[in-house]
Structure 1
Amino acid sequence: MNKKPLIAAAVILLAGAAALAWWLQRTPDARSELVLYGNIDIRQVSLAFNGSERIARLAVEEGDPVKAGQVLGQLDIRTLQLRAEQSRAQIAVAQQALARLQTGSRPEEVAQSRSQVAAAEADAKLAQQQLERVQSIGQSTGGRAVSQQDLDAAQARRKVAQAQLENARKAQQLVVTGPRKEDIAQAQAQLEASRAALALLDHQIAESTLKAPIDAVVRARLMEPGDMASPQRPVYTLAITDPKWVRAYVAEADLGRIRPGMAARLVTDSHPDQPLEGRIGYISSVAEFTPKTVQTEELRSSLVYEVRVLAEDAGDRLRLGMPATVRIALDADGDAARNGQRP
């Protein structure tokens, strides 16, 4: 009997058993590890100038890393600077007007008002004396030496002099009392309005400098020097390098096996032998149908939940949209819900 076929069959069976054992040892148990497929996602910022002036310069290009507070661009501020100078001049005028009202009347003005009162008193006294003289002559002559017209003229001159005296006294009182408090308040309000206008211009000048709000990488440069900027037109799009996460989807049957904070390992096609550490940061509370772009082992439509796995990417290897595989080590019994933990 030929034993060679039996020996060959035995060798093949042993090799197959060894290969199966090696594969079972290499392939993780589905109860001890959950594998998800998704894509790298990051936050982005669209930066625009707050003003509507012409762009004077832009400092960075696509791909340049930027730090928080770094100057990225500058508007032409010559018009704003001229308006600020005009506002400063208006403030100086308002300050002088307010100081004049707060100081009140000068001693020379008070002395002048007193002199005017004295002159008016003298005129009134003279007019009174002339009237009395005309009346005395008329009484002594029986009205023959003085006409009624002369008498009326003397009486009118006395009334005019009395009115002028009263006017001079009122003017002296105003000079001594000084400006009204309402006039001082109005001048103060005008000064504050001028200062507010200057503060607004200074703010606009400060806002004409575009700065990075956070550490990031320039993803797109959308405008160039000479373009007219506006708050509605972004100049740069920045990609925030931290945090980065994998947007994946977990089936409803596996939802109870994971929870926020669980450790995970991320593998990309560009670095399959260099996995990154991560953790589950967010699990959606709303179910949705499987998106067309999601990568799952079962290509069928089903209800899934979005999961965000935060990645520790110190080497900045991950890029927006990059496919990634997430491996999550489960609890000993393979079910987080059994331990009283809820996703």
Structure 2
Amino acid sequence: MPTRFVRTTRSLAHDGGRRPLIGFLAAALLLAAWLAWFLFGRVTVYEISRQARLEVQQSAHPIAALVQSRIATNPLVLGQEVRAGDLLIELDAQAEKLRLKEEQSRLETLIPRIASLKKEVAALEQAAARERAAAQAASQGAAFRTREAAAAADFARENERRLKEESALGGVAQIEAVRAQAESLKLAASREALAAEQRRLGTEAEARAFQQQAQVESLRRTILSMQGEAQAAESTIARLGEEIERHTVRAPVSGTIADVAVLRTGAYVAAGQKLATVVPHGGLIIVGDFVPAAVLGRIRPGQAARLRLDGFPWAQYGMIDARVVRVAGEVRDGLVRVEFEPSQHGAGRLVLQHGLPGSIEVGIEEVSPAQLVMRTAGRFDTPLPAAAPMAARDLTATQ
């Protein structure tokens, strides 16, 4: 009698346990490999910045008005190349310029007046010296005349005495003795007059000297007063010059005008108002802002990083390799600043320039997947304070 289901019976006869066994062995090997990778493999842990941007190595210089005034000239345009010290914007300083001209005119009149008074003082001093010499000569002449009169008076007295003696003896007439006495008295009076004249000449010379000295001192006081006015005018001129210079906005560094306020001629600006921004020439760096918990003690100089630019999809343009060069030690606005040096050959088709935004990720350590899972589970189990900001999540990538 023929057997039913011949094909089924034959298939069951040929079917054995080899194929399931091979499948189980392959699954076991895959599971063992996955467990080995999970326990002993290494993955890189990345921290992603809250924000990042390209900046020049020297900080961009904002330009602000130092005083409140009106715009006199504003020739600035975006992208303009400037050099340090170039005049960028001129504010109205007409009142200060008028005062400056006034003080300069005043100083110009004071300087020759002071020079003229100094010449007058010198002339008076020379005249006083000559006056003293003349007075000394006149005094010496009066002294000589006084000595001459004294000698004549002495001779007259001696002649009077001798004639009196001879008159008493009858040798000469008595009238001769009287005449000799009168002559002696005359010469004595002349000597006294000459002595008085000598004293008068000395007194007048001293009075003229005092008068000339007083005149010289008066002129010197006037000179000192004018010199004080000249110094005050010079100080005022210097202050007005500085004030006028404060009305001129100059480029602090050489670079490119990256931002300009829309201000037309005649517009009013306040002190401290930002007018433009100058981006200096130089190499570019990457600046990233991280939460403190992700940076402090974890990111160090020399670590590798990758920058993704917001305007250039990384799948098409790739990422820019970089390395950490500096890490700030203080928190500002709840974030920590980290500076990176971009790779010289990492830009590819990108044209890097100041201000490009993006995000940067830093490889901070390598751990096994098991450690990473345990660490993540520990974070989920630990409640965060209500006011604490959420930290950036760890991203992993296999080597």
TM-score (norm 1): 0.55
Asked if 1:245 corresponds to 2:287, the answer is: yes
8 Å Cα contact 1:260-1:283 kept in structure 2:
no
Deviation at 1:239, TM superposition (A): 5.8
Trace 1:1-343 onto structure 2 (pairs within 5 A).
29-30=42-43, 32-41=44-53, 45-62=61-78, 64=80, 66-103=82-119, 104=121, 106=123, 110=127, 170-175=210-215, 177-179=216-218, 182-214=221-253, 215-238=255-278, 244-249=286-291, 251=293, 255-271=296-312, 272=314, 273-284=318-329, 306-312=336-342, 315-317=351-353, 319=355, 322-328=357-363, 330=365
Relative to structure 1, is the Cα distance of residues 77 and 269 closer, same or farther in structure 2, using a 3 angstrom cutoff?
Answer: closer
Deviation at 1:259, TM superposition (A): 1.5
SS at match of 2:259: strand
Deviation at 1:70, TM superposition (A): 3.6
8 Å Cα contact 2:52-2:358 kept in structure 1:
yes
Relative to structure 1, is the Cα distance of residues 179 and 248 closer, same or farther in structure 2, using a 3 angstrom cutoff?
Answer: same
SS at match of 2:69: coil
Q: Distance in 1 between matches of 2:292 and 2:353?
A: 25
Relative to structure 1, is the Cα distance of residues 287 and 107 closer, same or farther in structure 2, using a 3 angstrom cutoff?
Answer: closer
TM-score (norm 2): 0.49
8 Å Cα contact 2:114-2:227 kept in structure 1:
yes
Q: Distance in 2 between matches of 1:206 and 1:184?
A: 32
Identity %: 19
Q: Which residue of 1 aligns with 2:179?
A: none
Q: Which residue of 1 aligns with 2:375?
A: none
Relative to structure 1, is the Cα distance of residues 107 and 319 closer, same or farther in structure 2, using a 3 angstrom cutoff?
Answer: closer
SS at match of 2:291: strand
Q: Distance in 2 between matches of 1:279 and 1:101?
A: 73
Relative to structure 1, is the Cα distance of residues 97 and 332 closer, same or farther in structure 2, using a 3 angstrom cutoff?
Answer: farther
Q: Distance in 1 between matches of 2:70 and 2:296?
A: 53
Deviation at 1:238, TM superposition (A): 4.9
User: How many residues are paired up?
Assistant: 251
Which structure 2 residue ranges, 5 or more long, are not aligned? 1-10, 136-203, 345-350, 369-399
8 Å Cα contact 1:266-1:324 kept in structure 2:
yes
Structure having the higher helix fraction is 2
8 Å Cα contact 1:64-1:217 kept in structure 2:
yes
Q: CA RMSD in A?
A: 4.6
Q: Distance in 2 between matches of 1:86 and 1:101?
A: 23
Q: Distance in 2 between matches of 1:313 and 1:71?
A: 37
Deviation at 1:180, TM superposition (A): 6.2
Q: Distance in 1 between matches of 2:84 and 2:323?
A: 25
Relative to structure 1, is the Cα distance of residues 174 and 246 closer, same or farther in structure 2, using a 3 angstrom cutoff?
Answer: same
Deviations 1:172-192 (A, max 9, x none): 4434x4546554433322211
SS at match of 1:277: strand
8 Å Cα contact 2:299-2:364 kept in structure 1:
no
8 Å Cα contact 1:50-1:208 kept in structure 2:
yes
What amino acid is the match of 1:37? Answer: S
Which structure 1 residue ranges, 5 or more long, are not aligned? 119-163, 292-304, 334-343
Deviation at 1:167, TM superposition (A): 8.0
SS at match of 1:210: strand
Q: Distance in 1 between matches of 2:304 and 2:271?
A: 42
8 Å Cα contact 1:243-1:311 kept in structure 2:
yes
SS at match of 1:225: coil
Relative to structure 1, is the Cα distance of residues 277 and 187 closer, same or farther in structure 2, using a 3 angstrom cutoff?
Answer: same
SS at match of 1:54: strand
Deviations 1:74-98 (A, max 9, x none): 1234443333222211111221232
SS at match of 1:232: coil
Which of the pair has more CA radius of gyration? 2
Deviation at 1:324, TM superposition (A): 0.8
Q: Distance in 1 between matches of 2:287 and 2:279?
A: 13
